[in-house]
Amino acid sequence: MAWGPRPRRRVGVMGGTFDPVHHGHLVAASEALESFALDEVIFVPTGEQPFKTDRDVTLAEHRYLMTVVATASNPRFTVSRLEIDRPGKTYTIDTLRELKAQMPDTDLYFITGADVLPQILTWKDADELWSLAHFIGVTRPGHELDTSGLPEAGVSLLEVPAMAISSTDCRRRVAAGKPVWYLVPDGVVQYIAKYGLYRRGSAKVDDFSRPRPRMTTRARDERSVKLPPRAVGAGK
């Protein structure tokens, strides 16, 4: 009996600061998973970004752990430390090159906010990005977006109602003492409260002298993007 070639895997890569991760991110990943027949979505929290210099960004370890908490219930969502463990500034091209090298028989789909798409033309080695991944721009229903200058075959738009939620608004609500229940997952609400994130005067919160959640060795091993073909546990 002749066996045909194994079908190529389709993996979504959701980049973002996730400061904090919220239900809009999770719904967008879920919609992309279904609409593009993806096998899984890897969330890749950013490390040191070259573009977000206008505000303090919460410590990477907090952002990573919040994303792990938020995605833990979905076996097709995983979280990668790829960017937060990489020294220096974070560039999407470096992440996609590394993922492609680790998963050569996989088609990558980079998921990002649609408002970011026009900026891609200014990113490092932008011309090579289109050969490494198909870009999915997530947008609110009815939102018009100018995609001129972007390769038509390399970009798709995906409407997601929950994208009306924003991390910026979540941070402001916490700073003002307002609740963020139902905007972010319950576990993330509790994490924010435990570590006092986003309170006025503590936007960065780099004190890890307090007790911090630790993953077991097995959990850390399973949540490593360096385990093809299932890049488990590993989001611009």
Strand pairing of 106-113 and 133-139? parallel
N-term to C-term CA, the chain: 45
Residue at 154: amino acid letter: G
Query: Does 3 fall in a domain?
Result: no
Structure confidence at residue 168 (pLDDT): 94
Does the bond joining 229 to the residue before it have cis omega, within 30 degrees of 0? yes
Query: Does 33 fall in a domain?
Result: yes
164 class by beta-carbon count within 10 Å (0-12 exposed, 13-18 middle, 19+ buried): exposed
pTM, rounded to two decimals: 0.81
Domain that holds residue 99: 9-164+214-222
Into how many domains does the chain fold? 1
Tell me the pLDDT tens digit for each residue of 23-75: 999 999 999 999 999 999 999 999 876 655 567 899 999 999 999 999 999 99
Query: Does 32 fall in a domain?
Result: yes
Query: Does 197 fall in a domain?
Result: no
Tell me the pLDDT tens digit for each residue of 73-111: 999 999 999 999 999 988 999 999 999 999 999 999 999
Q: What is the CATH number of the domain that holds 129?
A: 3.40.50.620
Structure tokens at 128: 């090579």
Strand partners, 111: 14, 136
Q: Are 96 and 133 in contact (CB under 8 A)?
A: yes
Query: Does 149 fall in a domain?
Result: yes
Structure confidence at residue 149 (pLDDT): 83
Query: Does 228 fall in a domain?
Result: no
